[in-house]
Amino acid sequence: MSGPRTEVAGYRVGGRLDQREDRLATRSRRAPPAWQQEEKVATINDVARRAGVSTATVSRALNGKSTVDPALVTRVRAAAKELGYHPNGLARNLRRQETAVLALIIADVENPFFTAIARGVEDVAQAEGYSVVLCNSDESAEKERRYIDVALQERVAGVILSPTGATSNVERLHERGTPVVAVDRPLPAGDQVLVDTRLAAREATNHLIAAGYRRIGCVTGPAGVRTANDRLAGYRDAIRAANRPELFRHGQYWAAGGKQATVELLAEPEPPDALLIANSAMAIGVLEALSEAKLRLGRDIGVVTFDDAAWATLIDPPLTVVAQPAYEIGEQAAKLLFARIGDPSPPPHTVTLAARLVTRGSTLRG
Amino acid sequence: MSGPRTEVAGYRVGGRLDQREDRLATRSRRAPPAWQQEEKVATINDVARRAGVSTATVSRALNGKSTVDPALVTRVRAAAKELGYHPNGLARNLRRQETAVLALIIADVENPFFTAIARGVEDVAQAEGYSVVLCNSDESAEKERRYIDVALQERVAGVILSPTGATSNVERLHERGTPVVAVDRPLPAGDQVLVDTRLAAREATNHLIAAGYRRIGCVTGPAGVRTANDRLAGYRDAIRAANRPELFRHGQYWAAGGKQATVELLAEPEPPDALLIANSAMAIGVLEALSEAKLRLGRDIGVVTFDDAAWATLIDPPLTVVAQPAYEIGEQAAKLLFARIGDPSPPPHTVTLAARLVTRGSTLRG
DNA sequence: TTGTAAGCGTTATCAC
DNA sequence: GTGATAACGCTTACAA
The answer to whether residues A300 and A327 touch, using CB atoms and an 8 Å cutoff, is no
How would you write B50-104 as a 3-class SS string? HHCCCHHHHHHHHCCCCCCCHHHHHHHHHHHHHHCCCCCHHHHHHHHCCCCEEEE
**pLDDT of res. B10:** 24
Nearest nucleotide to A46 by CA–C1' distance?
Answer: C9
Q: Percentage of residues in chain A with pLDDT exceeding 90?
A: 72
Question: Is any atom of strand D within 7 angstroms of residue A97's beta carbon?
Answer: yes
Cα gap A318→B211, rounded to integer Å: 29
Model pLDDT for residues B260-283, shown as the tens digit of each residue: 999 999 999 999 999 999 999 999
Q: What is the DSSP letter of A303?
A: E
Residues 84-103 of B with CB under 7 A from strand D: 85, 87-88, 91-92, 94-96
Residue A130, helix vs strand vs coil: coil
Residue A26 has pLDDT above 70, yes or no: no
Model pLDDT for residues B46-82, shown as the tens digit of each residue: 999 999 999 999 999 999 987 899 999 999 999 999 9
Per-residue pLDDT band for A39 (boundaries 50, 70, 90) equals low
**Cβ neighbourhood burial of B286 (10 Å; 0-12, 13-18, 19+):** buried
Model pLDDT for residues A289-326, shown as the tens digit of each residue: 999 999 999 999 999 999 999 999 999 999 999 999 99
Asked if B30 lies within 8 A of A132 by C-beta distance, the reply is no
**pLDDT of res. B24:** 36
**Cβ neighbourhood burial of B10 (10 Å; 0-12, 13-18, 19+):** exposed
Q: Tell me phi and psi for residue B351, to 5 degrees.
A: -105, 125
Q: Is B145 on the interface with A (CB under 8 A)?
A: no
Cα-based torsion angle of the residue sequence B51, B55, B59, B62 in order, rounded to the nearest 10 degrees: 10
Q: How far is B363 from chain A (nearest CA, A)?
A: 17
Cα gap A282→A265, rounded to integer Å: 14
Cα gap A79→A74, rounded to integer Å: 9
Q: Which helix (H) or strand (E) holds B226?
A: helix B226-241
Q: Which helix (H) or strand (E) holds A352?
A: strand A350-353
Question: Is any atom of strand D within 7 angstroms of residue A68's beta carbon?
Answer: yes
Q: Which residues of chain B from 154 to 183 reach within 8 Å of chain A, CB to CB?
A: 154-155, 175-177
Q: Which residues of chain B from 3 to 62 reach within 8 Å of chain A, CB to CB?
A: 5, 7, 12, 14, 16-21, 23-24, 26-27, 30, 33, 36, 39, 41, 62
Cα gap B325→B306, rounded to integer Å: 11
Per-residue pLDDT band for B149 (boundaries 50, 70, 90) equals confident
Cα gap B365→B287, rounded to integer Å: 17
B190: closest CA among B227, B159, B164?
B159
Could you identify the residue whose CA is nearest to the C1' atom of nucleotide D13? B56
Residue B13 has pLDDT above 60, yes or no: no
**pLDDT of res. B98:** 84
**pLDDT of res. A165:** 82
Cα-based torsion angle of the residue sequence A224, A359, A308, B318 in order, rounded to the nearest 10 degrees: 110
Q: Is B254 on the interface with A (CB under 8 A)?
A: no
Q: Pick B311's closest partner by Cβ from A18, A149, A311.
A: A311
Higher pLDDT, A191 or B27: A191
Residue A299 sits at the vertex; the CA angle it makes with A296 and A303, to the nearest 5 degrees, is 80
Nearest nucleotide to A54 by CA–C1' distance?
Answer: D3
Q: Is A357 on the interface with B (CB under 8 A)?
A: no
B161: closest CA among B143, B135, B142?
B135
Amino acid occupying residue A127: A
Q: Per DSSP, which regions of B110-240 are E strands? A: 131-136, 158-161, 180-183, 191-195, 216-220
Nearest nucleotide to A65 by CA–C1' distance?
Answer: D1
Asked if A94 lies within 8 A of B94 by C-beta distance, the reply is yes
Model pLDDT for residues A126-144, shown as the tens digit of each residue: 888 888 888 888 888 988 9
Per-residue pLDDT band for B39 (boundaries 50, 70, 90) equals low
Identify the weakest region by mean pLDDT among A261-265, B106-110, B235-239.
Answer: B106-110
Amino acid occupying residue A296: R
Per-residue pLDDT band for B135 (boundaries 50, 70, 90) equals confident
Q: Is B78 on the interface with A (CB under 8 A)?
A: no
Give the distance, in angstroms, between the CA of residue A147 and the centroid of all CA atoms in the same chain: 12
Q: How far is A106 from chain B (nearest CA, A)?
A: 13
Q: How far is B102 from chain A (nearest CA, A)?
A: 10
Chain A residues touching residue B62 (CB < 8 angstroms): 2
Cα gap B366→B274, rounded to integer Å: 13
Chain B residues touching residue A255 (CB < 8 angstroms): 310
Question: Is any atom of strand D within 7 angstroms of residue B56's beta carbon?
Answer: yes
Those residues with Cβ within 8 angstroms of residue B315's Cβ, 6 or more apart along the chain or in another chain:
A311, A314, A315, A316, B287, B297, B362
Rg (CA), chain A: 27
Model pLDDT for residues B163-217, shown as the tens digit of each residue: 988 787 899 899 888 999 999 999 988 999 999 999 999 999 999 999 999 999 9
Question: Is any atom of strand D within 7 angstroms of residue A75's beta carbon?
Answer: no
Per-residue pLDDT band for A34 (boundaries 50, 70, 90) equals very low
Nearest nucleotide to A94 by CA–C1' distance?
Answer: D8
Q: How many CB pairs under 8 A join A and B?
A: 204
In whole angstroms, how far apart are CA B216 and each of B244, B272, B274, B277, B324?
A: 8, 5, 5, 11, 22
Residue A37 has pLDDT above 70, yes or no: no
Q: Tell me phi and psi for residue B131, to 5 degrees.
A: -100, 160
Chain A residues touching residue B36 (CB < 8 angstroms): 345
Per-residue pLDDT band for B9 (boundaries 50, 70, 90) equals very low
Q: How far is A364 from chain B (nearest CA, A)?
A: 18
Chain A residues touching residue B155 (CB < 8 angstroms): 88-90
Amino acid occupying residue A52: G
Which residue does chain B place closest to A327, by CA atoms?
B110
- Burial string for A269-301 (b: 16+ CB within 10 Å, else e) reads eebbbbbbbbbbbbbbbbbbbbbeeebebbeeb
Question: Is any atom of strand D within 7 angstroms of residue B45's beta carbon?
Answer: yes
Model pLDDT for residues A140-175, shown as the tens digit of each residue: 898 899 889 888 888 899 999 999 887 878 998 998
Cα gap A340→A346, rounded to integer Å: 8
Higher pLDDT, B166 or B290: B290
Cα gap A63→A59, rounded to integer Å: 6
Q: What is the DSSP letter of B224?
A: T
Task: Tell which phi-psi region holds residue A243, choosing left (phi > 0), alpha (psi between -120 and 50) or beta.
Answer: left
Measure CA of the first residue to CA of the last residue in chain A; give whole Å.
60
Residue B25 has pLDDT above 50, yes or no: no
Q: How far is B16 from chain A (nearest CA, A)?
A: 5
Rg (CA), chain B: 27
The answer to whether residues A23 and B128 touch, using CB atoms and an 8 Å cutoff, is yes
Which bases of chain C are under 7 A from a protein CB atom? Answer: 1-5, 7-13
Average pLDDT, chain A: 87
Mean pLDDT value across residues B144-158: 88
Could you identify the residue whose CA is nearest to the C1' atom of nucleotide D9? B91
